[in-house]
Amino acid sequence: MLVSGTEILQKAHKEGYGVGAFNFVNFEMLNAIFQAALQKHSPLIVQASEGAIKYMGIEMAVGLVKTLAQKYPEVPVALHLDHGTSYESCIKAIRAGFTSVMIDASHHHFEENLKETKRVVEVAHACGVGVEAELGRLMGIEDNISVDEKDAALVNPKEAEEFVKETKVDYLAPAIGTSHGAFKFKGEPKLDFERLVQVKKCTNIPLVLHGASAIPDTVRQAFLSSGGDLKGSKGVPFSFLQEAIKGGINKVNTDTDLRIAFIAEVRRIANENNSEFDLRKFFSPASLAMSKVIAQRMEILGSADKY
Ligand code: G3H
Ligand code: 13P
Ligand code: ZN
């Protein structure tokens, strides 16, 4: 059943677990996500970026989710706009049927971010839609980073408190050292968990971890053995994800792991059957490989058996 992001995340916040927010760009990805949720009895957040919306068309994105939500009414699912870059983009998504939106004005000054977020919250709440905002810059933190540099880039807990109070935003993404994609850390993985705990204390709302892909060993191996190159890649270890959830994270954004798992399988099949051209012979196993990665995540984040 399609529900608001707030409903899913308030429950996770109260009970102290994480819900994967999985990106999709087509039916195969979305179906893989739903199949994992069904298998693990996990609530779901599925999210489309502006790029994904451009690729699918907004009606298709909403239509796919509504169709699967109707087919599997037992799965509580929220449809979220990932990294909405403007008020207009958020309104468009709300009008089209999204039940959760992110207004990402984190690259603006604090006051501008606050103003923009507040505008979106006013409309979204009138429509029963949850809102996410972000504070700080997403970037890997390295051993030799100075305290001042860290303070300049990462979330400030006191600012987070003021931001949440003023905007009434429903969930907040605090920058604590993650980044998007497959190359998250130059040295050893490092996150600012202390800062995270302070933000949770100051805000007491669901928190969001962007750039949370782990690149698990099995996924990396599958990609490499199919002939892919992932030199220098590093994800967020599972143990870090669990510590982040203990520290107050409830929404765990995941895209890269899904992409890598899917493409590894497509390439393996292409390599092994060079006369094959039936799309289904590629996409069914690739979807299944993706689904396994998602199901494993649901166990690790603690959302399995939550519906
Ligand atoms: O935040 C980034 C997500 O992985 C979406 O990426 O903009 O390439 O669709 P995209
Ligand atoms: P990954 O690139 O780590 O999967 O992060 C995705 C994300 O944060 C989407 O908003
Ligand atoms: Zn993100």
> Using a 6 Å CB cutoff, which residues line ligand 2?
23, 82-83, 180-181, 210-213, 253-256
pLDDT of residue 220: 98
Q: Which residues of 63-83 are buried (b: 16+ CB within 10 A; e: fewer)?
A: ebbeebbeeeeebbbbbbbbb
Nearby residues of 42 by Cβ (< 8 Å), 6 or more positions away: 19, 20, 36, 298, 303, 304, 305, 306, 307
pLDDT (tens digit, 9 = 90+) per residue, 1-12? 999 999 999 999
Rounded distance from Cα 273 to ligand 1 centre (Å): 31
Is pTM beyond 0.75 here?
A: yes
Instruction: Give nearest CA residue, ligand 1 atom 5.
Output: 49
Q: Helix or strand or coil: residue 30?
A: helix
pLDDT (tens digit, 9 = 90+) per residue, 259-286? 999 999 999 999 999 999 999 999 999 9
CA distance 147 to 136: 15
Rounded distance from Cα 127 to ligand 3 centre (Å): 24
Ligand nearest, relative to CA of residue 212: 2
pLDDT of residue 144: 76
Per-chain residues with Cβ under 5 A from ion ligand 3: 210, 253
Query: How does residue 30 score in pLDDT terms, banded at 50, 70 and 90?
Result: very high
Cβ atoms of 183 and 232 within 8 Å: the answer is: yes
What average pLDDT is seen over the chain? Answer: 97
| Rounded alpha-carbon distances, angstroms, from residue 27 to 40, 47, 181, 203, 253 | 20, 13, 22, 36, 19
pLDDT (tens digit, 9 = 90+) per residue, 193-248? 999 999 999 999 999 999 999 999 999 999 999 999 999 999 999 999 999 999 99
pLDDT of residue 147: 83
Relative to the CA of 25, which ligand 1 atom is closest?
9
